[in-house]
Structure 1
Amino acid sequence: MFEYRSLVKMLAVIVATTNSAIAADISVSETDGPSGAKQSIVRIVGDMHVDDILRFKQISKSLPPQTIVSLESPGGSLLAGIEIGKVIAASSFATSVQGVCASSCALVWLAGAPRILAPSAKVGFHLAYKSDMDKTESGAGNALVGSYVTGLGFGDNVVRYITSAAPGDMQWLSSRDSDLLGIDIVVSEDRQTRSVTRETSPADTETVDPTVAAVELITSIIIATTYSDAKALETVRQLYADRVLYFGEMKSRVEVYTDKLKYIKRWPYRSVNLREDSISASCQISRCKVTGIYDWGVGNAKGRKKNGTAVFVYEFEVSDKIHITTEGGEVLSRY
């Protein structure tokens, strides 16, 4: 039991703090609502990172509908904005901006019901771009944005509007534009949160099932490394062990990095659809194994495409950080 509880705590802490230097500050508090009942508030402050997806999911599980998600962020990871927004929409949370919320943060704000803005608040949108090093338009990224925004119930006019500004520019939402586009907003004067009675963190609890945390960690890595070239290589540098059993062969971290770089250059357009009901995990002491099935697609600028279904296998160890020791799988079919 000691080892099991230790693993739970280590997973919770490591998942919450991986790349914390560039992750957003996410906290939960309570305040007195208008009717005297307690109102839960989640604050997201700073650049959003892909690791914030898991942190936000863990926090949101214990929160009631009508929770307010207060946003103060210049943006960050597109994937984080979309995935956090999906959780907000599914949970019937409200969103609120008192200051500035731009780029991927604005996509999060769109998911709220209602969407709350202070009179001086600024919400800005622009095209998705490939990476911080390559700020050219990302067709795959904008396709994700379009699918996400349509899934929230908005029409093509909203999709066109929020993808109209260049990556280095910003389309700031005006009250006139919101009326014309059908983006309903609630104007609020409330700038302060009163009577904070509770603050929580994902690492505060030992009730998290380590297998659940392991599944969410690996699925976040798979999605992020498929979408983002920079994230794919960053993950290898930060999370892979010095020696890795990589598709049946022992390789160094440098060799894994080199192989993934070649794959990324060969197939710049990549997609993945995880079959959630196929994913399972087992954890013992400080080791976890996660397996599952996903549908994949790749393409290049010459129009060459491949699609298929594959099994994935990841194993990792947890000490002071996560070390991925095994990555493997097998293609089940091509079509």
Structure 2
Amino acid sequence: MFKHKWSRGGCIVSDFHKLLMLVAISALIMAKSATAADISVSTTSGASGTAQSIVQIVGDMDVEDILRFKQISKSLPPQTIVRFDSPGGSLLAGIEIGKVIAASRFATSVSDTCASSCALAWLAGVPRILSSSAQVGFHLAYKSNLDQTESGAGNALVGSYVTGLGFGDNVVRYITSAAPDDMQWLSPRDADLLGIDIVVSDSRAVRSVTKEIPPSDSEAEDPSTAAAELIKSIIIATGYSDTKALETVRSMYADRILYFGEMKSKNDVYSDKVNYLRRWPYRTVSLRDDTISASCRFSRCKVTGVYDWGVGNAKGRKKSGSAVFVYEFEVSDTIQITAEGGEVLSRY
């Protein structure tokens, strides 16, 4: 999302195609990233002998994992433990997964290593469990894997998230104190001084799995929910990552799309995005969830809503405001975005 004009479109879905669309959309979202984490759900016997739900997240986290985790978490009880073994990955994934953990009041656990964005997600747990040899590390947010310079927008996002968890400025400063290529490893002493409550466990592993828990069938009720989550993930991810913004155009945009009221080729849209990213290297975006709506008909979906935006450059020039966004896409073997548009509501 880069401009603020308007595009048209709309649709309704039949009960029969709801199931088909959700299956197609969910499968495609989950398959989009080759670096997505391995997320599995299981049960084991808890300390009192009752069943204990365990979510295991292993490997690099990516934005596609946000929707997967949200879908899985809806069927799990508050006593769930989320176990991490991850070097990090997408900043947005760590923050958004952490928000779900905090809202669900899940516990978090680390037996080996949880660093970078993984550590941010772990921070949301109640309680936060660590094995005696676990390592949890934090560092500054950076722009991309190709450009590991500090991201002011990313660190602002981290600060807002950590504050929202109830921590003070001292914690924000601590977890953003290490350079992007360095790591601030959390020690029990640091945690105590900072007011980060942790539980140190002598056990390095959760007891063996007794059965697998598949995602709830209730998730197949309405493809519009999946459509809205997909577009939300795209908007937020591309708003903060130049690499993700351009990769989204390459992999998900149709050869020709209705782009802010005009038919454009994918190459023209790509060039427009590149120019925008160069002009405004500092960007923020905040979605207004209560304004977002989605509708689908057969293999086509449309998602609209309102977001607050801000942009800036190295010369100190800044702009901000609110705007409507409109996306349309089709689902076949892949997801193809066929329209993108919007309209400015206000500037401030």
1:10-49 matched pairs, under 5 angstroms: 10-19=24-33, 21-49=34-62
Per-residue CA distance 1:23-80 (angstroms, 9 max, x = gap): 0011111111111111011011000101111111111111111210000000001111
Report the Cα distance in structure 1 between the residues aligned to 2:310 and 2:283, rounded to whole angstroms: 6
Segment of structure 1 superposing worse, 216-225 or 202-211: 202-211
- Tell me the amino acid that sits aligned with residue 24 of structure 2: M
Deviation at 1:227, TM superposition (A): 1.0
Report the Cα distance in structure 1 between the residues aligned to 2:192 and 2:160, rounded to whole angstroms: 22
- Tell me the amino acid that sits aligned with residue 53 of structure 1: I
1:80-95 matched pairs, under 5 angstroms: 80-95=93-108
List alignment gaps of at least 5 residues for structure 1.
none
Which residue pairs with 1:313 in the alignment? 326
Say if 1:206 and 1:296 are closer, same or farther in 2 by CA, change over 3 A. closer
Per-residue CA distance 1:313-334 (angstroms, 9 max, x = gap): 1010111111001101111222
SS at match of 2:133: coil
Report the Cα distance in structure 1 between the residues aligned to 2:127 and 2:60, rounded to whole angstroms: 23
Deviation at 1:196, TM superposition (A): 2.2
CA-atom RMSD, angstroms?
1.5
Per the normalisation by structure 1, the TM-score is: 0.96
SS at match of 1:238: helix
Pick aligned residue for 1:9 from 15, 20, 23: 23
Per-residue CA distance 1:222-251 (angstroms, 9 max, x = gap): 111111111111111111111111111111
- Tell me the amino acid that sits aligned with residue 20 of structure 2: S
Deviation at 1:203, TM superposition (A): 9.1
Deviation at 1:193, TM superposition (A): 3.3
Whether the aligned pair in 2 keeps the contact of 1:9 and 1:206 (CA below 8 Å) is: no
SS at match of 1:16: helix
Say if 1:200 and 1:317 are closer, same or farther in 2 by CA, change over 3 A. farther
Deviation at 1:297, TM superposition (A): 1.4
Which residue pairs with 1:282 in the alignment? 295
Say if 1:120 and 1:6 are closer, same or farther in 2 by CA, change over 3 A. same
Per-residue CA distance 1:86-140 (angstroms, 9 max, x = gap): 1111110000000000011011111110000011111111111111001111111
SS at match of 1:277: strand
Deviation at 1:4, TM superposition (A): 3.0
- Tell me the amino acid that sits aligned with residue 30 of structure 2: A
Which residue pairs with 1:227 in the alignment? 240
Segment of structure 1 superposing worse, 186-195 or 146-155: 186-195
SS at match of 1:329: strand
Which residue pairs with 2:310 in the alignment? 297
1:207-222 matched pairs, under 5 angstroms: 207-222=220-235
Corresponding position: 1:150 with 2:174? no
SS at match of 1:261: helix
List alignment gaps of at least 5 residues for structure 2.
1-14
Per-residue CA distance 1:117-174 (angstroms, 9 max, x = gap): 0111111111111110011111111111111111111111111111111111111111
Corresponding position: 1:72 with 2:81? no
Corresponding position: 1:115 with 2:151? no
SS at match of 2:212: coil
SS at match of 1:56: helix
- Tell me the amino acid that sits aligned with residue 5 of structure 1: L
If asked which structure has higher relative contact order (CA below 8 Å, sep 6+), I would say 2
Corresponding position: 1:242 with 2:255? yes
Which residue pairs with 2:110 in the alignment? 97
Identity of aligned residues (%): 75
Which residue pairs with 1:171 in the alignment? 184
Pick aligned residue for 1:58 from 68, 71, 84: 71
Deviation at 1:195, TM superposition (A): 4.4
- Tell me the amino acid that sits aligned with residue 3 of structure 1: H
- Tell me the amino acid that sits aligned with residue 76 of structure 1: G
Report the Cα distance in structure 1 between the residues aligned to 2:329 and 2:347, rounded to whole angstroms: 28
Which residue pairs with 2:149 in the alignment? 136
Whether the aligned pair in 2 keeps the contact of 1:16 and 1:202 (CA below 8 Å) is: no
Report the Cα distance in structure 2 between the residues aligned to 1:195 and 1:237, rounded to whole angstroms: 43
Report the Cα distance in structure 2 between the residues aligned to 1:233 and 1:201, rounded to whole angstroms: 34
- Tell me the amino acid that sits aligned with residue 181 of structure 1: L
- Tell me the amino acid that sits aligned with residue 260 of structure 2: F
Per the normalisation by structure 2, the TM-score is: 0.92
Report the Cα distance in structure 2 between the residues aligned to 1:318 and 1:262, rounded to whole angstroms: 29
Whether the aligned pair in 1 keeps the contact of 2:18 and 2:221 (CA below 8 Å) is: no
Deviation at 1:3, TM superposition (A): 3.1
